[in-house]
Amino acid sequence: MGGWLTPDILPPEAWRAVALSLKVSLWAVLVSLPLGIFTAYALARWRFPGRGLVNGLVHLPLILPPVVTGYILLLSMGPQGPIGGPLARIGVVFAFHWSGAALAAGIMAFPLMVRAIRLSIEAVDPKLEQAAATLGAPRLWVFASVTLPMILPGVIAGAILAFAKAMGEFGATITFVSNIPGQTQTLPSAIYAFLQVPGGEGAAVSLVVISVAVAMGALLLSEGIGRRVARRVAGA
Amino acid sequence: MGGWLTPDILPPEAWRAVALSLKVSLWAVLVSLPLGIFTAYALARWRFPGRGLVNGLVHLPLILPPVVTGYILLLSMGPQGPIGGPLARIGVVFAFHWSGAALAAGIMAFPLMVRAIRLSIEAVDPKLEQAAATLGAPRLWVFASVTLPMILPGVIAGAILAFAKAMGEFGATITFVSNIPGQTQTLPSAIYAFLQVPGGEGAAVSLVVISVAVAMGALLLSEGIGRRVARRVAGA
Amino acid sequence: EQARLTVFAAASMKNAMDEIAAGYEAETGNAVDVSLAGSSALARQIQQGARADIFISANTDWMDRLEAGGQIDGDSRVDLLGNAIVLVAASGAAPVEIAPGMDLAALLNGGRLAMALVDAVPAGIYGKAALQSLGEWDSVAPMVAQADNVRAALALVATGAAPMGIVYATDAVAEDDVHVIGTFPEDSHPPIIYPAARVAGSDNPLDAGFLAYLQGAAARAAFERQGFVVLAQE
Amino acid sequence: MSVSVTVQHGFGGFNLDAAFEAPAGITVLFGRSGSGKTTIINAVAGLLRPDAGRIAIDDWVLLDRAAGVSLPVHRRRLGYIFQDARLFPHLNVRQNLLFGRFFAPRDAPRADMGRVVEMLGIGPLLGRRPAMLSGGERQRVAIGRALLASPRLILADEPLAALDEGRKAEILPYFERLRDEVAVPILYVSHAPAEVARLATTVVALEDGRVTGQGPAIQILGDPNVMPTGVRDAGALLQAVVVRHHDDGLSELSAGGVALFLPRVPHAPGGQLRLRIAASEVILSRARPEGLSALNILPGVVEAIRDGDGPGAIVSLNTPAGRVLARLTRRSVAAMALAVGAECHAIVKTVAIAPENVS
Amino acid sequence: MSVSVTVQHGFGGFNLDAAFEAPAGITVLFGRSGSGKTTIINAVAGLLRPDAGRIAIDDWVLLDRAAGVSLPVHRRRLGYIFQDARLFPHLNVRQNLLFGRFFAPRDAPRADMGRVVEMLGIGPLLGRRPAMLSGGERQRVAIGRALLASPRLILADEPLAALDEGRKAEILPYFERLRDEVAVPILYVSHAPAEVARLATTVVALEDGRVTGQGPAIQILGDPNVMPTGVRDAGALLQAVVVRHHDDGLSELSAGGVALFLPRVPHAPGGQLRLRIAASEVILSRARPEGLSALNILPGVVEAIRDGDGPGAIVSLNTPAGRVLARLTRRSVAAMALAVGAECHAIVKTVAIAPENVS
Ligand SMILES: Nc1ncnc2c1ncn2[C@@H]1O[C@H](COP(=O)(O)OP(=O)(O)OP(=O)(O)O)[C@@H](O)[C@H]1O
Ligand SMILES: Nc1ncnc2c1ncn2[C@@H]1O[C@H](COP(=O)(O)OP(=O)(O)OP(=O)(O)O)[C@@H](O)[C@H]1O
Ligand SMILES: [Mg+2]
Ligand SMILES: [Mg+2]
């Protein structure tokens, strides 16, 4: 019989959207994480010319309506854009490709990730880093062996926030890579589509439930990890 | 003659949208801040049944496509909704009112605010709070005199993130309170409207520039404050 | 105190509605607030009791839905405007004849066809119907890139991300980077109709007057300037 | 006022099982690193909830696990001087000092801010934040913060460890005043025998989480079996009364009729005070010695001789002033033919007592 | 190997302006709380960039502000024992201990982990995290961490302040070994005169950011004018050689021909060692005393008499063993008719020297 929550009323492309959203969000988070940590570190600890500009740029996707971010991406990273063009010639294609969706999601999620990590870095007592330096650890090692382990809770928090945001990202993604079932149709695009037509609510609700379940699972998991890590870092 | 950046090509309702967006974002941040601090504190420091649920709920607006959040708000807080109806009878109206836009923006920004504050709280050494308690400070006082000053950088970071997010919020707002000039038409809604018609791009770009300028101003300001506060808290 | 009227209108009508609202205010002294959003969003808001006075939808589905639910006054409903869908390409492309056997897939030459969401957004629904009736849909479907609205589809063409797109005739009007290479025959898709009606809950005395104004000469001129076909007879 | 403490607590490898009474005055917890001193203090403060136990100040029960009573930390009216200063980094020194005062009941006896600041020598630091202080300065501020909270119970965990001798000498009398005048019970952790001897009313010796000895300082410090840090720190406490102050800066005291000379003590003639005489500083002589620079000579009878681990022995002498301990080599014991019942004289230098072993 | 340090630095209210040479061995920075000891050490470590100054170990320049040279902290090959332990909270004790080893050059001489762990008594703690350690345990781990980093320069900021006497006695010999065998220069901050006397090769006395005296320990510690914590800590250092070990646990030494008896020292006969004799523990007698329990008697001639602030005086005696200081009351000086040139005997108890004043 099948109620509205059971998979049989969801067309197969809905399931493909779920799979794609997971893939896109995971890639978006994983690829942007190192850059996010680096950016957060630079903003937290270094004084350099253009620091304000970098900080502004990082926050931009938060401030702009997502559609605008999508347009900017389309203009710059599209096949004829100043960045997308050359990239396309060396075979790196974002347009209408899931990697473009990941790019859009990653950019939209970036400010959240950077903020969380940066706050953690600012909370690390520089005296511990100094202690590591006196023991002979070069700067990068100090980071890897002292700073990074101590900011892990923040890194995890940042990664979850980014993942959740990526799972929900819609405006920039659809504007940049549009909605091609199986390639760029993420969960939010599918939900949006269902909501546009009278009577589409049922399917939309099913997808919302799936999306919430996935993100909550990730959330709970990461909370668990985060707590364990925090306890480890606090040393208790 | 007036280039595309000068105000004279912007119709008056665009300026009303700017003013409204500022009002909406400020209210959203100010009203949600105490609740955000409380929620962050509860999540960071207390173990209570339903903690996971609260945490999930807080993150929900991040995960859901904004349209869905807006739709949920419309259904629940609308004039005929289970919450909005009774509220309307006692004179509290959110539907199609700027306060509704603030509500939507506040809810969308809430997870960002809570995360930032929570990370700061988790970084406060409980030993200092214990020291305050030994000196006779009741729990609330410990919070006000030790915890709160020490997490101020995080509170500020959370408030900026939330403000920036509120300035950019679009999907939930237009879905919940529509796009009525002077009442619920925020900057992003106005940008959206301009983008929907041929020839609207110029005005849209002008509005984007204004929106970026405002948010960057807030960002720079708060970075300055945040840095000063952080230095004060670190005691240097 | 100035009398006010709230109109919920599909976002694609912004330019025309701005002009009409200004004209109406100049003529009657009454202010008009136009809330522009997607038809689905507006219809849902009306379902949930939004205090709108007039609703102009970009398609008939949502208006039918509201009428069935008693949220609009069926007697006041008029089919206000019509529109056409066109095939657009980057400037410089040769015109094509839109007819069965045109082999759109070959014309795309491996590129994408930009459309609005083909199952959700009216322009996409009409476009899909037209391609189906022309027998092109099955071959083209895998190449379709769907945007969340027509303007976004147009942007895909304007930026060169997609070589061609299907949009409303009204959208192609003012775009320099894009030009129309063919218009879909009227009979290849269900009629494109923008119905207008009075919202049932509205007790605004200006309703009837504004509905009439929408069908008047001033409005007609404004609509036509934006490329709409005015259906309503005065 | 008396504090009674019973705590049991297990931390993986370490088990604490201690019970003691801390009568009015200063009770020193004495024991090696890791013996459980801070753990006990934390339990008293309410920062640690022991597995079992009861803590009360007279009838005022702070904790009774069996009865399910546990007063919240902030209601225990403490002045806790932490082993790590734990100043509030966002407040300046003045604000740190005044933090506790704000929460003290209006009618609580108040320490005088000016006096405390002066004693601690932190006047020039009042406007600074803790990050700008030296280690010893931080610790001094922490002492001031606790003293100014109008506490009913002071917990001091090695408060003077980071300080130089001069500064210690300035602060010690303040703790003595607290002990003697204000009657606030004080639980005090210290590793320094001289500090213990000077301050302690009661000593609780801890070893590996267990109490190995407790009682009046006079008794525990004179018992070489109990002193947990070994026989080298043994010493006796004598009760003395001030007779008069001489012009040359010496004070003459009488301990059970024996005249003792000390560098000027602050007490008025007739005042009672306590002297610690470290066993290692006492020289014995069978004959009454003449022509020595040492001014204090106590005649007595050998009461007991206890051999130590090394080449030393502790000779316990019964004198009119009380029991005096002397640490000698066994070779000297033999050479002098010392035996229980033998008469001999204890010789103590004036300057070897003063001033930090006087109280 | 010799460390030369010149630093100038201003901190608002405080101005540091110090220059000293630290020859091989242990150089103790001695001064009151807030006198600038940690600031100097931080400059040497590279954690503080002084306004001006030059720091070099022999020819190896760590800092030269004038020449714009400043070696990064991690290239200075330090073992810094911080005043606050600063252990890494996310690593367990073992990982903390091994942290520095990882970065030491492969060919650097390595301290033996097992030996250090045993000496510090932290074997049972290796798997714990710092939050689960007592204050003294933390400090011991910090000492181990620095020692195991194969440093070319050790900076120790009150490393033993939080430890009990027994533990100190176990760790001190290790620093002595470092000084005598490994030849790593050590800058050592301490407030404890006994520790200073025992360890210091060189003493740098600081007061309010300025060096008030520097030189070999034997000289500075014997100079009551320099000792910054006051005359009470004065004392003399004697050089002695071990003659033989007796069966009763005593070692016989000879200092300039005078026989001295001490509890067994670890040195073999013929070995050289240094004794500190605190001025307050010396008794003088005009006649050669008989029948006393004290075994060490040094004949000498009064070289100088210096009156102190209080009722005391320091008598400096020229003996065959070297200069000996004695702290007496002025009353005794008068009673004994002591004057420059007078002959008299210094009496020192065997147990008053041993073992912590021996090295
Ligand atoms: N960051 C700073 N800003 C301002 N003043 C400072 C700062 N750090 C230290 N001081 C001051 O410099 C002086 C010397 O400090 P330092 O830490 O070197 O003292 P110290 O000799 O190590 O004392 P202690 O034995 O108490 O640790 C102190 O008066 C201290 O208040
Ligand atoms: N949180 C903890 N978890 C496990 N063991 C602990 C914990 N806290 C303390 N201990 C252990 O309990 C014992 C007693 O610690 P405590 O801090 O009471 O010692 P202490 O007597 O104050 O020593 P110190 O003089 O070194 O400060 C130590 O062996 C310590 O390692
Ligand atoms: Mg302790
Ligand atoms: Mg210091």
**pLDDT per residue as tens digits for the range A20-30:** 999 999 999 99
Mean pLDDT of chain E: 84
Sign of CA dihedral A177, A183, A187, A191: positive
Is the CB of E103 within 6 Å of ligand 1? no
What does the buried/exposed string (b/e) look like for D138-153 if buried means 16 or more CB atoms within 10 Å of the residue's CB?
Answer: bbbbbbbbbbbbbbbb
Q: What is the pLDDT of residue E355?
A: 44
B65 inside domain: yes
Q: Specify the residue for token string 């108040």.
A: D110
Is D279's pLDDT higher than 50?
Answer: yes
CATH for B171: 1.10.3720.10
Q: Please give the average per-residue pLDDT across A223-234, as a whole number.
A: 74
Domain annotation covers residue B2: no
Bridge-based pairing of strands D210-216 and D202-207 is: antiparallel
Determine the average pLDDT of the residues in E222-232: 53
Mean pLDDT computed over E335-348: 86
The confidence score (pLDDT) of residue E356 equals 44
Residue A2 inside a domain? The answer is: no
**If residue B119 lies in a helix (H) or strand (E), which one and from where to where?**
helix B98-123
Which tokens sit at C225?
């300037």
Find out whether the beta carbon of D42 lies less than 6 Å from any atom of ligand 2. Answer: no
CA distance E289 to A51: 81
Alpha-carbon gap, residue A17 to B34, rounded angstroms: 38
DSSP string of A127-140?
A: HHHHHHHHTT--HH
Inter-helix orientation angle B66-77/A187-196, to 10°: 50
Find out whether the beta carbon of D33 lies less than 6 Å from any atom of ligand 2: yes
Residue B219 lies in a domain: yes
- Where in the sequence is the domain holding B101, given as residue range(s)? 7-234
| Residue E231 pLDDT greater than 50, yes or no | no
Q: What percent of chain D has pLDDT over 90?
A: 30
Distances (CA, A) of E135 to D82, D88, D161: 10, 20, 11
Cβ–Cβ under 8 Å, residues D141 and D113: no
Query: pLDDT digit string (tens) for E112-158?
Result: 889 889 888 899 999 999 988 988 899 899 999 999 998 989 999 98
Strand pairing partners for D236?
A: D277
> Is D311 or A96 the better-scoring residue by pLDDT?
A96
* pLDDT for res E225: 59
Complex-level ipTM beyond the 0.90 threshold: no
Pocket test for ligand 2, best of D7, D16, D33, D38 (most atoms within 8 A of CB): D38
HSE-up (13 A, CA, CB side) for residue E59: 0
Joined tokens for residue D161: 């460890």
Q: Give the Cα separation of D262 and D294 in Å (integer).
A: 11
Which residue type sits at E34? Answer: G
- Contacting E residues, span 224-283, partner chain D, CB-CB under 8 Å: 229-230, 232-233, 246, 248-250, 261, 263-264, 280-281, 283
Distance (Å, rounded) from C-alpha B103 to C-alpha B73?
Answer: 9
pLDDT tens per residue, range E312-323:
778 888 888 888
Is a pLDDT exceeding 50 seen at residue A2? no
Query: Residues of chain B with pLDDT > 70: what percent?
Result: 94
Mean per-residue pLDDT, D164-181? 79
pLDDT tens readout for residues D62-104: 999 999 999 999 999 889 999 888 999 999 999 999 999 888 8
Q: Is residue B138 assigned to a domain?
A: yes
**For E170-220, what is each residue's pLDDT tens digit?**
788 788 877 777 778 899 998 877 788 778 888 898 989 999 888 887 677
| Nearest atom of ligand 1 to the alpha carbon of E40 | 18
Tell whether ligand 1 has an atom less than 6 A from the beta carbon of residue D134: yes
Spatial separation of the C-alpha atoms in residues B68 and C150, rounded to whole Å: 21
Question: In sequence order, which residues have a C-beta less than 8 Å from that of residue E205 and are 6 or more positions away?
Answer: E30, E31, E211, E212, E213, E214, E220, E226, E227, E228
Q: State which of C171-175, D293-297, E154-158, E226-230 shows the largest mean pLDDT.
A: E154-158
Q: Which ligand is nearest to the Cα of residue D40, counting in written order?
A: 2
D88 contacts D95 by C-beta, under 8 angstroms: yes
> Exposure string (b/e) for B104-134, b if CB count within 10 Å is 16 or more?
bbbbbbbbbbbbbbbbbbbbbeeebbbbbbb
Q: Inform me whether the pLDDT recorded for D1 exceeds 80.
A: no
Hey, what long-range contacts does C218-222 have (CB within 8 A, 24 or more apart)?
C218/C20, C218/C23, C218/C27, C219/C16, C219/C20, C219/C23, C222/C16, C222/C19, C222/C20, C222/C23
- The overall average pLDDT reported for chain C is 88
Question: What average pLDDT does the segment B57-83 reach?
Answer: 87
**pLDDT at position A25:** 93
Banded model confidence at residue B224, pLDDT cuts 50, 70, 90: confident
Distance (Å, whole) CA D46 – CA D53? 12
What pLDDT was estimated at residue D353? 61
CA distance E273 to E263: 13
Q: What are the CA-CA distances from residue D7 to residues B131, D33, D43, D62, D63 (Å)?
A: 21, 19, 8, 12, 10
Residues A158, B62 contacting (CB under 8 angstroms): no
User: Mean pLDDT: which of D106-115, E23-32, E218-227 is highest?
Assistant: E23-32
Measured distance CA(D65)–CA(D60) in Å, rounded: 14
Looking at residue A147, its pLDDT comes to 93
Q: Which fold has domain E3-229?
A: Rossmann fold (3.40.50)
Size (chain B), residues: 236
Q: Is D11 in the pocket of ligand 2 (CB under 6 A)?
A: yes
Ligand 2, residues D15, D29, D39: which to mutate, most atoms within 8 A of Cβ?
Answer: D39
Over the stretch C156-194, which tens digit does the pLDDT of each residue have? 888 888 899 999 988 877 667 788 888 999 889 999 999
What is the model's pLDDT at position E359? 47
Query: Rounded to a whole number, what is the distance in Å from the CA of C56 to chain A's nearest CA?
Result: 16
- The pLDDT of residue B129: 94
A158 inside domain: yes
Mutate to test the pocket of ligand 2, among D35, D83, D206 (most ligand atoms within 8 A of CB): D35
Interface test with D, best of B124, B127, B134 (most D CBs within 10 A): B134
B71 pLDDT exceeds 50? yes
More confident residue, D288 or E50: E50
The pLDDT > 70 percentage for chain C reads 98
Q: Which pairing describes strands D250-255 and D258-263: parallel, antiparallel, or unpaired?
A: antiparallel
Overall number of domains in chain A: 1
Residue B51 pLDDT class (50, 70, 90 cuts) = confident
Give the per-residue pLDDT at B233: 66
| CB hemisphere CA count around D284 (13 angstroms) | 35
Q: Whose CA is nearest to atom 8 of ligand 2?
A: E132
Write down the pLDDT at residue D73: 93
Q: With a CB-CB cutoff of 8 Å, which residues 150-169 of chain B face chain D?
A: 150
Extents of the domains making up chain E: 3-229, 235-357
- Decide if A19 contacts A190 (C-beta within 8 A): no
pTM here is 0.84
Does the pLDDT of residue B1 top 50, yes or no? no
Nearest to B96 by CA among C208, C195, C25, C41: C41
Tell which residue, E145, E125, E150, has the closest CA to residue E137. Answer: E125
Mention every residue, 6+ apart, whose C-beta is less than 8 A from residue C217.
C234
Q: Is the peptide bond before E89 cis (omega within 30 degrees of 0)?
A: no
**Distance (Å, rounded) from C-alpha B189 to C-alpha B182?**
11
CB-based contact A158:A112 (threshold 8 Å): yes
- Chain A residues in contact with B216 by the CB 8 A cut-off are 56, 59, 63
Q: In sequence order, which residues have a C-beta less than 8 Å from that of residue E177 and are 6 or more positions away?
A: none
CB C6 within 8 A of CB B180: yes
Q: Could you tell me which residue, E280 or D358, shows the higher pLDDT? A: E280
pLDDT at site E218: 66
Give C28 Cα–ligand 1 centroid separation in angstroms: 80
pLDDT score for B6: 47
Looking at the DSSP bridge assignments, the partners of residue D277 are: D236
Q: Is the CB of E39 under 6 A from ligand 1?
A: yes
Q: Is the pLDDT of residue E227 over 90?
A: no
Task: Report pLDDT for A9.
Answer: 60
Return d(Cα E308, Cα E290) in angstroms, integer.
30
Place of tokens 């051999």: D307
pLDDT tens per residue across span E5-25: 999 999 888 899 999 999 888
Q: What's the rounded Cα separation, in Å, for the pair A155 and A148?
A: 9
Q: Say yes or no for a CB contact (<8 Å) between A168 and B119.
A: no
Task: State mean pLDDT over A160-165.
Answer: 88
| Residue D353 Ramachandran class (φ > 0 left, ψ -120 to 50 alpha, else beta) | alpha
- In sequence order, what are the residues at sequence separation of 6 or more whose Cβ sits closer than 8 angstroms to the Cβ of residue A198? C40, C43, C61, C62, C64, C65
Is the sign of the CA dihedral A93, A96, A97, A98 positive or negative?
positive
- Residue D93: what pLDDT? 95
Query: How would you label B62-78 residue by residue, b for 16+ Cβ within 10 Å and e otherwise?
Result: bbbbbbbbbbbbbbebb
Which of A132, A133, A136 lies closest to E104 in CB terms? A136
Task: List the structure tokens of A132.
Answer: 């590591």
pLDDT attached to residue E163: 83
Q: What is the DSSP string of C94-113?
A: PP---STT--HHHHHTT--E
Most confident option among B115-129, D224-238, D316-330: B115-129
| Cβ atoms of D171 and D190 closer than 8 Å | no
What does the alpha-carbon distance between residue B178 and residue B70 come to, in Å, rounded to a whole number? 10
Positive/negative CA dihedral, D245, D250, D255, D259? negative
Say whether pLDDT at D358 is over 60.
no
| pLDDT above 90 (res B107) | yes
For chains A and E, CB pairs below 8 A equal 79
- What letter represents residue B57's amino acid? L
**With bands split at pLDDT 50, 70 and 90, how would you rate the model's confidence at E62?**
very high
Measured CA distances, A163 to A38, A51, B67, D252 (Å): 18, 26, 19, 82
pLDDT in tens, A101-135: 999 999 999 998 998 899 899 888 899 999 999 99
Residue A147 is given by DSSP the state I
Residues in chain D: 359
Q: Does B70 touch chain A (CB under 8 A)?
A: no
More confident residue, D224 or A199: A199
Q: What is the CATH number of domain E235-357?
A: 2.40.50.100
- Direct distance between the N- and C-terminal alpha carbons of chain B, in angstroms, rounded to an integer: 53
Q: What is the mean pLDDT of residues B113-129?
A: 90
